[in-house]
Amino acid sequence: MDNVSTLSAKISIEHLTYRYPFAKNRSLEDITLSIDAGQSIGIIGRNGAGKSTLCYTLSGLIPRFFHGKIEGSIKIDGEDVPTMSVEKLIRKVGLVLQNPFSQISGAKMTVYEEVAFGLENLGIEKDEMHERIDTVLKQFDLYKKKDKNPFELSGGQLQRLAIASVLALQPEILILDEPTSQLDPCGTTEVFEAISQLKTLGITVIIVEHKFEKLVEYVDKIALLNDGKLVKYDTPEKIFSMPQIEDYGVGQPIYTALCKRMGLKKPNGYYPVSFNETVTLLSGLKMYE
């Protein structure tokens, strides 16, 4: 695997293996990977590959909420995640769950209070709290819904609320599990824009996402999971240029599929993954004629 020293890595996972209580099979098996501080990483894989489970181990939900046996190690800045204090963990890591309905506390009467809930738990001061809440509600187009009950929101609005309430916590490491599954296309772009903004602040972002055309424009590397195992951890172009990529049931960016179909590679020998790369490649071809 990569030769990046695990010492300098913000997150380092070594030989991580995990099985849910009573489950027949392991959901994660011998995973080793490291993520440098400030990197953006995509996690991809077919349904049931173990993406959410990996998110749970990174955020400490495993083993605190989901029990079961963990083998190997998972460290943030050299400190073991499974034994780290909860106070420290919630400051360091924020997780946006795959299902926004699970994220909502259910205890709060308004959208505004729902965002405030997490901040109060962190002991953030009132003025700063209000400022943070206003910022995220505006950022995700929820400000006019601030006095509504979360259960009166549309599906996409609820997902926006789930993202907003985690972003407001300003964690050092942000993990998003399919955060855009119910968002309209502009909302999806806004989430990715927010991520690239966080990146400039040095925040480490880990995102599970099926919309590869967007994903490849924002992440440094992609971890491809299959059957609980790490198949490959590399740059998007290397991941999607793998000859066996179709075997993992994940598909590929439509631009890559198109170029493979047309037999077109970039000068570096890999297939294009993004819109811009494909435009460059195809308009070059048009001009030669």
Partner 1 sequence: MSDAVIKVDGLWFAYKDNEYVLQDINIQFDNRPTAIVGQNGAGKTTFVKVLKGLLKPSKGDVWISGTNTKETTVAQLSKIIGLVFQNPSDQMFKSKVIDEVMFGPQNIWKDKKDKNFVYEQSIKALRIVELDNKLEEHPYDLTLSERKLLCLASVIAMDPKIIILDEPTIAQDRFSTRKLAEIIKELIKDGKVVLTITHDMDFVAENFERTVIFYQGQVLDDGPTEKVLSNEENVATAHLELPNLVRLAKALDFKTTPLTIDDFVEEFSRCKKAGD
Q: Give the DSSP H/E element, type plus range, for residue 241.
A: helix 236-241
The yes or no reply on residue 242 touching partner 1 (CB under 8 A) is: no
| Closest among 272, 232, 208 to 44, alpha carbons compared | 208
Min dist CB 128 to ligand ATP, Å, is 28
Order across the sheet with 69-76: list the strands: 28-35, 11-19, 69-76, 79-80
Q: What is the separation of C-alpha 44 from the centre of its chain, rounded to a whole number of angstroms?
A: 9
- Contact residues for 276 (Cβ-Cβ < 8 A; gap 6+): none
Contact 230, 223 (CB under 8 A): yes
Residue 99 contact among Mg ion, ligand ATP, partner 1, none, beta carbon within 5 to 8 Å by kind: partner 1
User: 7: closest CA among 84, 111, 78?
Assistant: 78
As measured in angstroms, the least distance from the Cβ of 119 to ligand ATP is 23
249 binds Mg ion (CB under 5 A): no
87-116 binders of ligand ATP (CB under 6 A): 98
Query: Which residue from 33, 44, 49, 76 is in contact with ligand ATP, where contact means CB under 6 A?
Result: 49
Q: Judge if the upstream peptide bond of residue 63 is cis by omega within 30 degrees of 0.
A: yes
Question: Six-digit token pair at 14?
Answer: 């070594």
Q: Which of 67, 101, 109, 147 binds partner 1 (CB under 8 A)?
A: 101
Q: Which stretch binds partner 1 (CB under 8 A): 58-66, 115-123, 178-186, 233-241?
A: 178-186
Q: Name which of residues 18 to 77 contact Mg ion (CB under 5 A).
A: 51-52
The residues binding partner 1 (CB under 8 A) are 45-48, 98-99, 101, 141, 152-157, 160, 178, 181-189, 210, 213, 249-251, 254-255, 257-258, 261-262, 275, 278-279, 282-283, 285-286, 289
